[in-house]
Amino acid sequence: MKIELTDDEVTTMMVALDNYGDAKRLEWAESRDDADLTEAGSAEWCWQKLFGAQQKFRNSIADAIGEGEQPLTTIDPFTLPTWTE
């Protein structure tokens, strides 16, 4: 299955999953029902999957625009001409 989402939509889903997982952990702390802990773990798993896809997407954009690349020329400040009068 292929689903297309914007970066903001993925971020919104990740926030919702994080909040859901936290709520389930709190419920588990009160009830000690393992089903709550399982659901919290499932939310974490989904969050990790979305995070990985989001980072891959962001890195592909950075690669496409050349972000993080070194300039073709470098300047050594110690070899610059100095002003003398």
Query: pTM for this structure?
Result: 0.68
Helix 7-31 to helix 34-65 angle (10° resolution) is 160
Which residues of the chain have a pLDDT value below 70?
67-85
Cα 3 from chain centroid? 18
Q: How far apart are CA 48 and CA 42, in angstroms?
A: 10
Q: CA 58 to CA 60: how far, in whole Å?
A: 5
pLDDT recorded at residue 28: 96
- Contact assessment for residue 76 and residue 47, using Cβ atoms and an 8 Å cutoff: no
